[in-house]
A and B are shown apart, each in its own frame.
Chain A
Amino acid sequence: MILSKKEYMFIKTRWIVMVIIMIGLAIMTVSIKDILINLINTPAVQEQLKNIPKGLQSQIQKISDFSYYSYSQWFDKTFIEIAAVLAVIFSFSAFSKEIEDRTLYILHGRSTRFEMFSAKIFWGIVACVISILAGGLVYLTVADILKYNLPISQAMIWTGRTIFGTIFLYSIGIFFSLILKDQVRAILADLAVFVGIYVLGIFAQTRFLGIFDYMGSIDVLNGSGIGIIQIAILLILSCLLLGFTYFKFKNMDI
């Protein structure tokens, strides 16, 4: 790929920082499990828990189970939040910065528009996938070292779901980066859409649109698989969005 070296160089620093953050948070989340449980089990906290609704009480009591702890504190929380941040960080500047800085002239002609587009998308997706894999695998490894019982299949299903969900979020980010031609507006649009997707996941009628719900679903604890249909839908939507973005890029004036 002709622009591979350039795009890799431009994404490298952000990528390293995000992997370090992901790994650091994974290690921290596993490591503080016992501290959190001990805190919950203190008489003072137990006394306080009696005053909260029964449903919430039972959820808090379930945290001593490591699978549930992993779901509630990592895979349905920090992990997918960082995944959304990854999608924004690796996408918002992909086109908008080059358009703002007028540096697309350097690339155009020296490479085709498809080469320009594909090199950016390739490295963005690779950076998202590897950062997420790092978070999922490091969490699993640290849990194993500390002798916590987390089935590998559960961790891998959550990680896999998060990867496909993040690719879709990244596609949204790339779309805004090109269309809005402005880094700040691209970030704001990403955040607005991601918040919208999160809100859709709250209501029963629109829950099927809540990608974050799919990524960190509690169903995995009950033996649910990775969800081939959902993955296929996410991949098709990602391809359509990236295809449309490429069509716009191919026909735009530089």
Chain B
Amino acid sequence: MEKAVEIHELTKIYDDKIKALDGISFVIPTGSIFAILGLNGAGKTTTLKSILGLIKPTSGKVTTLGDEPFPDGVKDASFVPEEKELYQWITVPKMIDIFSSFAPKFSVDKFKKIADKFELTMDRKIGELSQGNRTKLYISLAFSQDVSLYVLDEPTWGLDPVMRKHVLDTIKAFAINGKTIVYSSHILSEVEEVCDRMIILKSGKIVYDGTVDDLKDKTGNDLSGAFLNLMEDGEKK
């Protein structure tokens, strides 16, 4: 199995007191759609940021696409953060122009196709867009980069069902083309629909690492029921 991401004994402590991750280890296979689940504050975003080199591990090792990602990040990756903030005072076309000047492997043609599909409002300043449209713009920019790894933190949050389906279809298409997708979401039905493997985090520790089907088989529940059980007992399965 080729590894897109390998995390070994990763611990992250913020400000010498808040332990966000507690010695977690897992592997994300290349070409998979990998979900990171957990309650609020479980360490999902910290894990995603560690994969991208946005934060410095307190201890342990992160290898993303063969390199340590901290401090310079991963050039062959595209990130959609939880807070999908862009430069509010510029117009959408100017944002595309600026983004294309520094984002590697960005295709304006690809952006136009995705933006058409997402029915994106183009002729406004970003600050005048609704939250949903800002999310669509951020995702369109990130998806228009032809990279090996897409890291998505709550990508469909605030989108209507039609747009949500477009995003999930695009994610599936990426995986078919050999791209790796790391995905965090609270919407378990989405995870069930698209993900190959997943980890479930609780208080900075992994309580499940495996496939969605294995979890369902082991617990005799649907994903939602199995997830709730894990959150209640916290035992690693």
Residues of chain A whose beta carbon lies under 8 Å from any beta carbon of chain B: 2-3, 5-6, 9-10, 101-103, 105-114, 250-254
Known contacts being A112-B73, A251-B56, is A105 close to B102, with CB within 8 Å?
A: no
Known A-B contacts: A101-B88, A103-B87, A105-B81. Give 15 more (CB < 8 A). A3-B102, A5-B102, A9-B98, A106-B99, A107-B102, A109-B54, A109-B74, A109-B75, A111-B102, A112-B72, A112-B73, A113-B71, A114-B72, A253-B14, A254-B54
Candidates A109, A113, A251; contact of B77 at CB < 8 Å: A109
- Which B residues have a C-beta under 8 Å from some C-beta of A? 14, 49, 52-56, 69, 71-75, 77, 79, 81, 83, 85-88, 90, 94, 98-99, 101-104
Chain B contacts for A110, CB-based, 8 A: 73, 75, 102-104
Q: Closest CB of chain B to A169's CB: distance in Å?
A: 26
A14 to chain B, nearest CB (A): 12
Q: What separation, in Å, do the CA atoms of A106 and B79 have in the docked complex?
A: 8
CB distance from A153 to the nearest CB of B (A): 42
**Which of B55, B74, B90, B98 gathers most chain A CB within 10 Å?**
B98
- Which residues from B are CB-within-8-Å of A114? 72
A9, A10, A105: which has the most chain B beta carbons within 10 Å? A105
> How many Å lie between the Cα of A111 and that of B104 in the bound state?
9
CA distance A253 to B98 in the complex (A): 24
**Closest chain B residue to A252, Cβ basis:** B56
Contacts of B53 in A (CB 8 A): 108-109
* Bound complex: CA A107 to CA B95 (Å): 12
- Report whether B98 and A109 are in contact in the complex, using a CB–CB cutoff of 8 Å: no
Contact of B55 among A5, A10, A101, A254 (CB under 8 A): A254
Docked CA distance A103–B79 (Å): 12
Interchain CA distance A221-B74 in the complex, whole Å: 56
Shortest CB distance B137–A (Å):
11
Cα of A198 to Cα of B102 in the assembled complex, Å: 41
A2/B102 in contact, CB under 8 A: yes
Q: Is the CB of A253 within 8 A of B54?
A: yes
Instruction: Say whether, besides A109-B79, A110-B75, A103 and B85 are in contact (CB < 8 Å).
Output: yes
